[in-house]
Chains A and B, each alone.
Chain A
Amino acid sequence: KNEVEQSPQNLTAQEGEFITINCSYSVGISALHWLQQHPGGGIVSLFMLSSGKKKHGRLIATINIQEKHSSLHITASHPRDSAVYICAVRRGAGSYQLTFGKGTKLSVIP
């Protein structure tokens, strides 16, 4: 079993829909990251969370440490949100390494 599981693997939505991507992990972590990867390869860090909730524009990320679960929400989705969204966890505070989920491919249709 992978240490970081994302669902769904693929998601197609109509423009304007509210989108949720889920991430579950099975190890103790010091932080969880949400990343965005557009076609062509470049990866952008969206959020880093260790507790609670963060918001940036139309993106909201939440984490429940007890349940080892995080969600990424996109409100009023737009075709430019089409990308692969990747969840990654950092283990102990002294760890340099990230362990990645396999990603969720989001397509937003006009």
Chain B
Amino acid sequence: DVKVTQSSRYLVKRTGEKVFLECVQDMDHENMFWYRQDPGLGLRLIYFSYDVKMKEKGDIPEGYSVSREKKERFSLILESASTNQTSMYLCASSLQGAGYSTFGAGTRLSVL
């Protein structure tokens, strides 16, 4: 069963901590995405990557960075976590030029 796996379902961090959210896909997909989802705002794209070591900013990249050293793994980094980064984070992947995205189960991050 093909899938996108996010390393944690729930995470609690302190303000100022460096936070790593990991995402791994086993479908050999070229494209990978990080979204955050907030009530009343829907899903918003933070960063995406269309190839190893390639990255593009999405709609809300401020306060985040990403890393894609291997095709199957896409990491989201919060350099210095802040309370306004408390949210649900969703990773997704898709084939180059394809339509469907496959989503991970999400990581609910609380920054205290």
Contact = CB atoms under 8 A, between A and B. Distances in A.
Interface residues of A, number: 22
A103 B44 CA distance: 12
A10 B103 CA distance: 23
A100 B43 contact: yes
A29 B44 CA distance: 18
Interface in B29-80: 31, 33, 37, 40-45, 48, 50, 56, 58
Interface in A18-67: 31, 33, 35, 40-45, 48
Contacts of A35: 103
B99 A33 contact: yes
Interface residues of B, number: 27
B42 A48 contact: no
Contacts of B101: 33, 45, 98
Contacts of A31: 99
A102 B41 CA distance: 6
Contact of A41 (B31, B41, B88): B88
27 contacts: A31-B99, A35-B103, A40-B106, A41-B37, A41-B108, A42-B103, A42-B104, A43-B92, A43-B103, A45-B100, A45-B102, A48-B100, A86-B42, A86-B43, A88-B43, A90-B99, A93-B97, A96-B31, A96-B48, A97-B45, A97-B48, A97-B58, A98-B101, A100-B42, A100-B43, A101-B42, A102-B42
Q: Which are the 8 A-B pairs with shortest beta-carbon distances?
A: A41-B106, A43-B103, A48-B99, A102-B42, A100-B43, A42-B105, A100-B42, A45-B100
